[in-house]
């Protein structure tokens, strides 16, 4: 039996809500129920639920995204809170030993974090990826996971992007270049 973890990547107000700074809008809002359902299923099965979440500081001259995007997911802001039902779910389960919110400052949830160590300590070998953006943070996390020899399952009905062409391309890339299982 594999030891599995669900990663819910960047499902925050800034990336999902209509008033979010870098919102994926309706496509991201449409996956809300699926993400919460998966979180419930994983937790009930004794598996891990990890929420890698962007953390930025306004006008940080040392961060490459400062030149690419407006300030987003700023610490202690409404934009960094989880969107909708996921915030309620997190509030109810944040003290569970199988739930971890993980601050990240780069696209990949592995870059500059202890995610790999956390997973290896728990003998996790399969990662289920969800969240936003399919072609940015989900993609970069998947590539790092692949390079670290994790098995990948991408839940296409629980991922979204503000770029539908990028979303479709990333799903194909996960399958053909990373050997990921695409689940619906």
What is the Cα–Cα distance from 52 to 35, expressed in whole angstroms?
Answer: 14
Instruction: Indicate the domain borders of the chain.
Output: 4-183
- Secondary structure element (H or E) that encloses residue 44, with its range: helix 32-44
Tell me: the pLDDT tens digits for 136-149? Answer: 999 999 999 999 99
Class of 4-183 in CATH:
alpha beta
% residues pLDDT > 90 (the chain): 90
Element (H, E) at 176: helix 164-178
> DSSP per residue over 72-129, as a string?
-SBTTSGGGSBPHHHHHHHHHHTTSTTEEEEEESSSSSSTTSSHHHHHHHTT--EEEE
Specify the pLDDT at position 1.
42
pLDDT of the chain along its 184 residues, tens only?
459 999 999 999 999 999 999 999 999 999 999 999 999 999 999 999 999 999 998 888 888 888 888 889 999 999 999 999 999 999 999 999 999 999 999 999 999 999 999 999 999 999 999 999 999 999 999 999 999 999 999 999 999 999 999 999 999 999 999 999 999 8
């Amino acid at each position: 039996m594999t030891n599995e973890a669900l990663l819910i990547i960047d499902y925050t107000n800034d990336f999902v809500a209509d008033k979010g700074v870098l919102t994926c809008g309706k496509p991201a809002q449409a996956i809300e129920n699926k993400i919460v359902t998966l979180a419930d299923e994983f937790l009930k099965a004794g598996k891990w639920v990890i929420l890698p979440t962007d953390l930025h500081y306004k006008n940080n001259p040392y961060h490459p995204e400062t030149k690419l995007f407006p300030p987003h997911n700023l610490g202690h802001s409404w934009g960094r809170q989880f969107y909708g039902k996921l915030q309620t779910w997190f509030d109810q389960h944040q003290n569970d030993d199988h739930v971890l919110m993980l601050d990240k400052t780069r696209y990949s949830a592995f870059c500059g974090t202890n995610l790999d160590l956390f997973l290896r300590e728990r003998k996790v070998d399969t990662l289920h990826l969800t969240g936003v953006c399919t072609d940015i943070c989900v993609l970069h996390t998947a590539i790092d996971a692949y390079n670290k020899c994790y098995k990948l399952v991408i839940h296409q009905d629980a991922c979204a992007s503000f770029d539908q062409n990028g979303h479709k391309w990333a799903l194909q890339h996960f399958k053909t270049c990373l050997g990921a299982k695409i689940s619906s």
